[in-house]
Amino acid sequence: MAPTGTPGPARPRDAADTPEAPTAVVVGGGLAGITAAIRLAEAGVGVTLLEGRPRLGGLAFSFRRGDLTVDNGQHVYLRCCTAYRWFLDRVDGARLAPLQDRLDVPVLDVAHPRGPRLGRIRRDPLPVPFHLARSLATYPHLSLAERASVGRAALALKKLDPADPALDGIDFATWLGRHGQSPRAIEALWDLVGIPTLNAPAPDASMGLAAMVFKTGLLTDPGAADIGWAHVPLGHLHDTLAGKTLDGLGVRTLLRTKAERISRTDDGRWTVEVPGETLGADAVVLAVPQTETHGLLPEGALDDVDRLLDIGTAPILDLHVVYDRKVLKRPFFTALGSPVQWVFDRTGSSGLTGPGQYLAVSQSAAQDEIDTPVSVLRERYLPELERLLPAARGAGVRDFFVTRERTATFAPTPGVGRLRPAARTRAPGLYLAGAWTATGWPATMEGAVRSGFSAAGAALSAFGRRHDHPLQEAA
Ligand SMILES: Cc1cc2nc3c(=O)[nH]c(=O)nc-3n(C[C@H](O)[C@H](O)[C@H](O)COP(=O)(O)OP(=O)(O)OC[C@H]3O[C@@H](n4cnc5c(N)ncnc54)[C@H](O)[C@@H]3O)c2cc1C
């Protein structure tokens, strides 16, 4: 069931109607806003959620193309993404986006002089760091000396505190260079993981964010990096099921409703202007991207509000190819020696019928190709896929199209940490959320959900409402 979207009668549930229940307007129906709305409503706050688009889910959504249901971009999460996993549970979607039993990433090198070579990044059921020791020791894409130096760098990385501001000031490549990592080790291991998780290659990535990803994912809990992904369209999880959950909690969800202005009233409450209506509330959670936040924040809400505009963005490009036959046996793989980054089989989730196969090629940090015409991308990538997948040679291509997300993530550049604001603003009752806020995580679904927890938690504390943090670790 999709959430209902037509603006309803003039006033939302309001503190004036039910004296004990405070009210909140959440602006933005991405994962951050949905999470904040759920948490507030669970604590008895009367919530109105505004989303400018006709659907919930923000940057992680699906659309129809003929008979196919297409995700705007392949999304994966890791077992260590405890907040996103909470979200999946909360919307009753966890079984639809399962995790691998055990980390296993096929890495195909097509540039090897003796022909294509398949390696694996796998874990064993052993404690950290032994869980990856065998995989590293046998990883065929690095020399023995490189494998040993990766092991030493990993141990050095384990000692870092990702929240150390000094780390945010340097780039990941510099740190890797200082720790003896060769260009090949960076390409075949660190960037292989870093580019899709940070959305930047090592020279463009903050060491603080890189440390966060590698330490949390690979060097804490043995199962932390097991990969999960939706086996249904993202829209089913983030729009349909999330909408149902919000409806069940009594949240008033207004789609196609853009907040135009947010103001504090003389009595310390808030108004949010949307076309044709002014909504009143005791608190507002602003869960929109940084530029929109800058445009909507009332004066004085943040010190140096213009710093939000210094947070850059980075693109992700997805190439979608529908073959007339099965060309890939695995659910996904990643490539070396090719412009192709990660390839996922999306056949099952897309509703494709018949004997064909639908692959999504996910290209992170795609600054160089984000504006390249489809015809050029087709000419470039179809032969590459044939190089990687022998079964694609001679297969018919039933469809080829691209999705371009120019502002897919905030740019994780060195120094970005000091630009990211916390949930609390200087204006009492006004809170910020979004993957780009100060979560300590790169721009991920995990960061978005965490930011929703923080904003809702801050609002509930100010309301004097009892609430536990949903994640045990922070309880
Ligand atoms: C192609 C792609 C691939 C990705 N891959 C991954 C991945 O593999 N793993 C992962 O963890 N993350 C991935 N991400 C990142 C992840 O999708 C985002 O970090 C996360 O979804 C951001 O959620 P959010 O709620 O912070 O922001 P958004 O999703 O941007 O939500 C903000 C919402 O606010 C709405 N809005 C804006 N202005 C207004 C207004 N004035 N009034 C009302 N509503 C407004 C917008 O329409 C939007 O719905 C990917 C992103 C993209 C684009």
pLDDT at residue 10, rounded to an integer? 35
Above 90 in pLDDT, residue 1?
no
DSSP letters spanning 407-430: EEEE---TTGGGGS--SB-SSTTE
Q: Stretch 303-329: mean pLDDT, rounded?
A: 97
pLDDT in tens, 216-258: 999 999 999 999 999 999 999 999 999 999 999 999 999 999 9
pLDDT at residue 317, rounded to an integer? 98
Instruction: State whether the beta carbon of 29 lies less than 6 angstroms from ligand 1.
Output: yes
Pick from 119, 88, 126: nearest CA to 104: 119
pLDDT classification of 3: cutoffs 50, 70, 90 = very low
Q: Stretch 13-27: mean pLDDT, rounded?
A: 71
Instruction: State whether the beta carbon of 444 lies less than 6 angstroms from ligand 1.
Output: yes
SS (H, E, C) 140-151: CCCCHHHHHHHH
| CA–CA dist 381, 462 (Å, integer) | 53
pLDDT at residue 159, rounded to an integer? 95
Q: Stretch 285-304: mean pLDDT, rounded?
A: 97
pTM of the model: 0.95
Above 80 in pLDDT, residue 19?
no
Say whether domain 313-410 belongs to CATH 2.60.40.10: no
> What is the 207 CA–ligand 1 centroid distance (Å)?
23
pLDDT at residue 20, rounded to an integer? 72
- 155 token code pair: 């141990």
Instruction: Name residues whose C-beta falls within 8 Å of residue 109's C-beta, 6 or more positions apart in sequence.
Output: 116, 117, 118, 119, 140, 141, 188, 335, 336, 337
DSSP letters spanning 126-144: S-TTGGGHHHHHT-TTS-H
> What is the 71 CA–ligand 1 centroid distance (Å)?
13
For the chain, the domains span: 23-59+233-311+415-463, 104-225, 313-410
pLDDT at residue 472, rounded to an integer? 66
Instruction: State whether the beta carbon of 292 lies less than 6 angstroms from ligand 1.
Output: yes
- 446 token code pair: 């995990």
* Mean pLDDT of the residues in the chain: 94
CATH fold for domain 104-225:
Guanine Nucleotide Dissociation Inhibitor; domain 1 (1.10.405)
Residue 92: which region, alpha, beta or left (left: phi > 0; alpha: psi -120 to 50)?
Answer: left
CA nearest ligand 1 atom 5, residue: 75
CA nearest ligand 1 atom 2, residue: 73
Angle among Cα 194, 197, 202 to the nearest 5 degrees reads 30
Instruction: Name residues whose C-beta falls within 8 Å of residue 256's C-beta, 6 or more positions apart in sequence.
Output: 5, 6, 51, 52, 53, 54
> What is the 30 CA–ligand 1 centroid distance (Å)?
5
- 397 token code pair: 């291509």
pLDDT at residue 475, rounded to an integer? 39
- The 10 Å Cβ neighbour count of residue 461 is 12
pLDDT at residue 123, rounded to an integer? 96
> What is the 59 CA–ligand 1 centroid distance (Å)?
3
Instruction: State whether the beta carbon of 51 lies less than 6 angstroms from ligand 1.
Output: yes
Above 60 in pLDDT, residue 144?
yes
Instruction: State whether the beta carbon of 97 lies less than 6 angstroms from ligand 1.
Output: no
Above 90 in pLDDT, residue 66?
yes
Second CATH level (architecture) for the domain 23-59+233-311+415-463: 3-Layer(bba) Sandwich (3.50)
pLDDT at residue 466, rounded to an integer? 83
> What is the 57 CA–ligand 1 centroid distance (Å)?
7
pLDDT at residue 2, rounded to an integer? 36
- Residue 5's SS3 state is coil
Ligand 1 atom nearest to 436, measured from its CA: 26
pLDDT at residue 113, rounded to an integer? 87
Instruction: State whether the beta carbon of 443 lies less than 6 angstroms from ligand 1.
Output: yes
> What is the 323 CA–ligand 1 centroid distance (Å)?
29
pLDDT in tens, 418-440: 999 999 999 999 999 999 999 99
> What is the 87 CA–ligand 1 centroid distance (Å)?
15
Residue 322 to residues 176, 203, 328, 377, 390, Cα–Cα distance (Å): 39, 34, 12, 15, 16
Please report, to the nearest 10 degrees, the dihedral formed by the alpha carbons of residues 439, 445, 446, 451 taken in order: 40
pLDDT classification of 13: cutoffs 50, 70, 90 = very low
> What is the 61 CA–ligand 1 centroid distance (Å)?
9
Instruction: State whether the beta carbon of 30 lies less than 6 angstroms from ligand 1.
Output: yes
Q: Fill in the amino acid letter for 427.
A: A
pLDDT in tens, 356-368: 999 999 999 999 9
Q: What are phi and psi of 184, to 5 degrees?
A: -65, -40
Q: Stretch 125-140: mean pLDDT, rounded?
A: 93
Ligand 1 atom nearest to 260, measured from its CA: 41
pLDDT at residue 209, rounded to an integer? 98
Residue with tokens 């999504």: 360
